[in-house]
Amino acid sequence: MEHLEHEVRASPNTLRAYGKDLESFLESVERRRDREPSIEDLSVREVRAHLAEIHGTYGVRSIGRRLSALRRLGSFCRERQLLQDNPIELIRHPKRPRPLPVALPVEDVTRLIEHFDGAEPRDLRDRAMLELIYGAGLRVSECASLDLNSMRWEGDRLFARVVSGKGGKDRVVPAGTSAARAVERWIPARAQLARPSSPPEALFLGVRGGRIAPRTIRTVVERACVAAGTRSVIGPHGLRHSFATHLLQSGCDLRSIQHMLGHASLSSTQVYTHLDIGRISEVYDSAHPRAIRTEESLRERDAPGARDSDDVG
């Protein structure tokens, strides 16, 4: 766990999850073998027995994460020459369906953000948070961890320096003029939520003066969806999906979207291409010479006898 924290720089959520997963495996071995587990128990046989034991209790995603934790432990032991090889690499990850992310239409996102139109500090804070999440494609944890010095203005445009929880990598992303105006209105009001114990660097504060928690942001977004009457109730991650989807619909290239989202692999970004098949079809029909559909061509196609020559034989 020290290796994961200090050398791999895994996020706090990953550390907690992997710690619980490894403890569960050790308890499973001890219960089945009625003895203290040893390094030799990190084997294909024992891991498969553990996964079979929890099958039906946990979903495919949870089982896959447990296998990832054990595989990471196997790699660590091999690198430290505690094992000759990593036997867990022989076990395949369970296949899981990859649901497409839910993205709101542009008009729903606009209605959601503009739901916060008050001048109270909490309204200004919530408006600024939603503008940044949607305007810069932030993860909820990234939004919660923003500092005042993370914001940089260039004229009327705002850029945010974002530190990701995944590997501690940082990136600079544009947030747009709407987000810039919302943040500019929030910063003077921030003092009304601040307390003597408040972290002076935190951009967003909770009602008790501490740095805002990701779960609070989720609650704000979900309740605003209900109040604004959006077609789907989404969380902050849904706003991030909407950000990427709307960029793709407007012609932005995948590499740029990958950078703004902070994806390590382009394959993570390519899921958004599946969302927009309707738009792709429209572009194809309007651009390809063999796919153009005009009213005249449709009438000719459907006219009596139009197919007679094709049906001969």
Last residue of a domain, one of 262, 281, 302: 262
For 203, the token pair is: 């951009």
Query: Tell me, what CATH number does 195's domain have?
Result: 1.10.443.10
Nearest to 129 by CA among 208, 171, 182: 182
Residue 95 is assigned to a structural domain of this protein: no
The number of folded domains in the chain is 2
CB contact at 8 A, 248 and 270: no
For the purposes of burial, counting CB atoms within 10 Å of the CB of 212, is it exposed (0-12), middle (13-18) or buried (19 or more)? buried
Domain span at residue 187 reads: 106-262
The model's pTM is 0.63
Give, for 161, the enclosing helix (H) or strand (E): strand 157-163
Residue 298 is assigned to a structural domain of this protein: no
**What gap in Å lies between CA 206 and CA 31, rounded to an integer?**
44
DSSP conformational letter for 3: I
- Indicate the SS3 state at residue 124: helix
Is the same domain home to 18 and 61?
A: yes
CB contact at 8 A, 162 and 194: no
> Could you list the pLDDT tens digit for every one of the 313 residues in the chain?
999 999 988 888 899 999 999 999 999 999 988 889 998 889 999 999 999 998 888 888 889 999 999 999 999 999 999 999 999 998 888 776 666 668 899 999 999 999 999 999 999 999 999 999 999 999 999 999 999 999 999 888 899 999 875 556 789 999 989 999 999 999 999 999 999 999 999 999 999 999 999 999 999 999 999 999 999 999 999 999 999 989 988 888 888 888 899 887 777 777 776 655 555 566 567 666 666 555 545 455 555 554 444 443 3
Is the same domain home to 65 and 134?
A: no
CB contact at 8 A, 137 and 160: no
Is the same domain home to 76 and 148?
A: no
How far the first Cα of the chain sits from its last, in Å, is: 74
Query: Tell me, what CATH number does 55's domain have?
Result: 1.10.150
- The residues that are catalytic are 139, 166, 237, 240, 263, 272
Residue 100 is assigned to a structural domain of this protein: no
Give, for 157, the enclosing helix (H) or strand (E): strand 157-163
pLDDT at 298: 46
Is the same domain home to 86 and 111?
A: no
Sheet containing 151-154: order of strands: 151-154, 157-163, 170-174
